[in-house]
Structure 1
Amino acid sequence: MRFHADLHVHSKYSRACSKNSDLEPLAWWARRKGCTVVGTGDFTHPAWLARLQECLVPAEPGLFRLRPEPDRAAAAGLPPNLAEAPVRFMLSAEVCTVYRRAGRTRKIHHLLYVPGLAEARELGRRLGRFGDLSSDGRPVLALDSRDLLENVLACGGHLVPAHVWTPWFGVFGAKSGFDALEDCYLDLTGHIAALETGLSSDPEMNRRVSALDRYRMVSYSDAHSPPMLCRETTVFDTELDYFAIERALRTGAGYAGTVEFFPEEGKYHLDGHRACGVRMTPRERREHGGICPVCGKRLTVGVLSRVEELADRPEGVPPEGEAGFRRLVPLPEIVGEILGVGPKSKRVQREIDGLVAALGPELAILEEVPLEDIAARSPLLAEAIGRLRREEVVREAGYDGEYGVIRVMEPGGPEPALF
């Protein structure tokens, strides 16, 4: 079975004891987007874990589904072609470890996965000794990354380093990261199977570092709200099964690549200083000695610069047998650009309602629906998606926490009428 998975999301744990859990909107948006497996987010938070136990029932090995009543609510308002799509949940969480190593303070984000609620409870019991799990959905732990991994393994789970290149909290980040994975996870590094690219990098950038060849690259949305689900996903061709997914990451069999942001859209792609509106390429930053020419403060070193520091390959030389990936722009951004309104506007949502009812989920429209079928509803949208698939886009790169912008239509083009 070939399916999309988005396994890095954040639940609204602060509302976990309310009547309306965020699992229902997560499932609703997963169906609309075309995503089959979704992370629960935040299982380390006690209130949210209690909510998961209340709302979920076991499905395939290591995966869960909503109970019938909330699942019906999670299909309400969707067209029939989407309402029946299966949605499964994998128990997931993100934690931050803060500790000293080799004379530096290290702040590293990690994604944690376990196959069952008993394992989640046990891991929470262990991690609760190192931080207040009830204070935040992404708890801060006074724990070495290597020791975190040891605890995850002891509970039958697996760990994926999160958004590995971002400056502040990535394992290779310029601010508090390492130059090699082995420097972070020490003797347990062999238990790491996959690395999350993050929004500001893609597999092509990561493959410039040959030491990363043995790791699968995964991409997830890091969504803090359900509508942001699936802006990045990982594609699997396996049984619908926690253990099959983990095995695909370890062996490569059944791992079918990723759907990525254009990395320039990520908010840490280039170097710069947002307060002064200064954005620089790696070469420009070096020419300025890493100093903002406006205020004299140090620039934030972005993902592209950090990749270049560790790279031992030129661009465009992927390892043999590398799974493919494709860069996409979320459908609301494209429709919003055509209409000249924001991607979250009601007009955009109404237009997409009609598109998914007629053509299928959002990811399918972006990736595989024939352009002639799209043109039958909107020639202008078909032109935009054709340009996207050919990567004929205008890129304005993000920097220092400022998202970049990807445009598929040139200014001064056709009038903004979708249908």
Structure 2
Amino acid sequence: LNKIGNLTADGRPILGLDAEKLAEIVFNISKYCVIVPAHAWTPWFSIFGSKSGFDTIEECFGKYSKYIFAIETGLSSDPAMNWRLSMLDNISLISCSDAHSPSKLGREVCVFETELSYNAMFSAIRHKNPSKFLFTVEFFPEEGKYHYDGHRDCQIRWTPKETKAHNKLCSVCGRPVTVGVMHRVDDLADRSDGFRPATAIPFKSMIPLQEIIAESKGRGVGTKAVQEAYHSAVQKLRTEFKILLETSADELRAALLPEIADGIIKVREGKVSIAPGYDGEFGKIKIFSEPHPASSASGGLGTSLHFMERGI
């Protein structure tokens, strides 16, 4: 592949060939090779992105599309958004983390009940086996940096409806806005919001523990106070995933500061406020609408935030 592209540019190979040709190369190596289109809805360099030119898997991979059995949903979409497309009913929806950011590993994951092997995990994904592929852990998609439409330079952030009302042109500078993930899903969806296919693999929306602690304390993620609280929590309750997903509310309150325990519980219940991301700008998420009585966190959400309640 080094002959036809740059494998060392920024940790992501940049190849000068189309997707169908890449599939031909990969699938002729071994029957165990797998291609999973990553961050499937991001505007640039993704299979369904507004800049990519593909509306279906078949358009992208041609005769090799029958071998594509999964897509990775990316930060700016979650499975529920993808469930609106009937063409994805037989496609497994997986979630992964960026390997180039070690501190963010695990913010999106797939959870399996299989042996720890390549073949076992990909078999579970390929067959959408709910007893083996249990669920995914997701970013709140509104926090992703391409969820809404907009133009960052002009601080224009729009819903798909607003973008269409402005003919996709920025109301400040007149240039085209970046069409985000929600808009693109709306364009390709053939179902209404809230539809859930019978074969859907469940998901849970989460915020990394360090970010919950940081907001509960009104401090930055990298501060000493947040890091000490994080390591103390993990030492007491074993792992971050156990804390976020499994530990009971009573156990959380017994082991952690009340503001941290309350923050985790609110995130589990989907009671967060988010100013959605747009045009490369990450969304701003708030757990506490007012300062927690046991912390010094600053409150006030601002008028641009909207309240989200999401079932887990």
Task: Give TM-score, length-normalised by structure 2.
Answer: 0.90
Q: Summarize the alignment of residues 89-168 of structure 1 with structure 2, pairs less than 5 Å apart.
A: 127-156=1-30, 157-168=33-44
Report whether the alignment pairs 1:367 with 2:241: no
**Which string of whole-angstrom CA distances, capped at 9 and with x for unpartnered residues, describes residues 7-38 of structure 1?**
xxxxxxxxxxxxxxxxxxxxxxxxxxxxxxxx
Structure 1 residues 197 and 135 mapped into 2: Cα distance closer, same or farther (>3 Å)?
A: closer
Q: Distance in 2 between matches of 1:411 and 1:402?
A: 24
Deviation at 1:223, TM superposition (A): 4.3
The range that moved more, 324-333 or 342-351, is 342-351
SS at match of 2:24: helix
Deviation at 1:417, TM superposition (A): 6.4
Report whether the alignment pairs 1:274 with 2:152: yes
Q: Distance in 1 between matches of 2:22 and 2:225?
A: 46
Q: Which runs of 5+ in 1 are unaligned?
A: 1-126
Deviation at 1:258, TM superposition (A): 0.6
Q: Which residue of 1 aligns with 2:197?
A: 319
Deviation at 1:170, TM superposition (A): 1.1
1:307 to 176, 182, 185: 185
SS at match of 2:221: coil
Question: 2:105 corresponds to which letter in structure 1?
Answer: L
SS at match of 1:161: coil
Residues 169 and 177, structure 1, Cα contact 8 Å, conserved in 2:
no
Deviation at 1:200, TM superposition (A): 0.1
Deviation at 1:136, TM superposition (A): 4.2
Residues 356 and 362, structure 1, Cα contact 8 Å, conserved in 2:
yes
Residues 216 and 292, structure 2, Cα contact 8 Å, conserved in 1:
no
Q: Which residue of 2 aligns with 1:7?
A: none
Q: Distance in 1 between matches of 2:38 and 2:79?
A: 14
Q: Which residue of 1 aligns with 2:122?
A: 246
Deviation at 1:294, TM superposition (A): 0.8
Q: Distance in 2 between matches of 1:295 and 1:140?
A: 32
Q: Which residue of 1 aligns with 2:67?
A: 191
Q: Distance in 1 between matches of 2:46 and 2:173?
A: 27
Deviation at 1:382, TM superposition (A): 1.7
Q: Distance in 2 between matches of 1:150 and 1:319?
A: 31
Q: Distance in 2 between matches of 1:333 and 1:299?
A: 30
Deviation at 1:385, TM superposition (A): 1.4
2:142 to 256, 261, 264: 264
**Which string of whole-angstrom CA distances, capped at 9 and with x for unpartnered residues, describes residues 312-342 of structure 1?**
0011111103111010011111100011111
Q: Distance in 1 between matches of 2:91 and 2:113?
A: 18
Q: Which residue of 2 aligns with 1:220?
A: 96
Q: Distance in 1 between matches of 2:212 and 2:218?
A: 10
Q: Distance in 2 between matches of 1:132 and 1:395?
A: 37
Deviation at 1:284, TM superposition (A): 0.4
Residues 329 and 406, structure 1, Cα contact 8 Å, conserved in 2:
no
**Which string of whole-angstrom CA distances, capped at 9 and with x for unpartnered residues, describes residues 229-260 of structure 1?**
11111111111110011111111221112100
Q: Which runs of 5+ in 2 are unaligned?
A: 298-312
1:297 to 172, 175, 197: 175
Deviation at 1:154, TM superposition (A): 2.1
Deviation at 1:373, TM superposition (A): 1.2
Q: Which residue of 2 aligns with 1:36?
A: none
Residues 209 and 240, structure 2, Cα contact 8 Å, conserved in 1:
yes
Deviation at 1:172, TM superposition (A): 0.5
1:397 to 276, 280, 294: 276
Deviation at 1:193, TM superposition (A): 1.3
Residues 266 and 397, structure 1, Cα contact 8 Å, conserved in 2:
yes
Deviation at 1:135, TM superposition (A): 4.2
Report whether the alignment pairs 1:380 with 2:256: no
**Which string of whole-angstrom CA distances, capped at 9 and with x for unpartnered residues, describes residues 244-301 of structure 1?**
1111111122111210011000000000000111100000001111111111111000
Question: 1:283 corresponds to which letter in structure 2?
Answer: K
Q: Which residue of 2 aligns with 1:178?
A: 54
Structure 1 residues 238 and 190 mapped into 2: Cα distance closer, same or farther (>3 Å)?
A: same
Q: Distance in 2 between matches of 1:149 and 1:210?
A: 24
Residues 19 and 61, structure 2, Cα contact 8 Å, conserved in 1:
yes
Question: 1:168 corresponds to which letter in structure 2?
Answer: W
Residues 268 and 302, structure 1, Cα contact 8 Å, conserved in 2:
yes
SS at match of 2:93: strand
Structure 1 residues 273 and 417 mapped into 2: Cα distance closer, same or farther (>3 Å)?
A: closer
1:286 to 164, 170, 195: 164
The range that moved more, 232-241 or 409-418, is 409-418
Q: Distance in 1 between matches of 2:8 and 2:102?
A: 22
Q: Percent identity?
A: 46
Deviation at 1:134, TM superposition (A): 4.1
Deviation at 1:311, TM superposition (A): 0.4
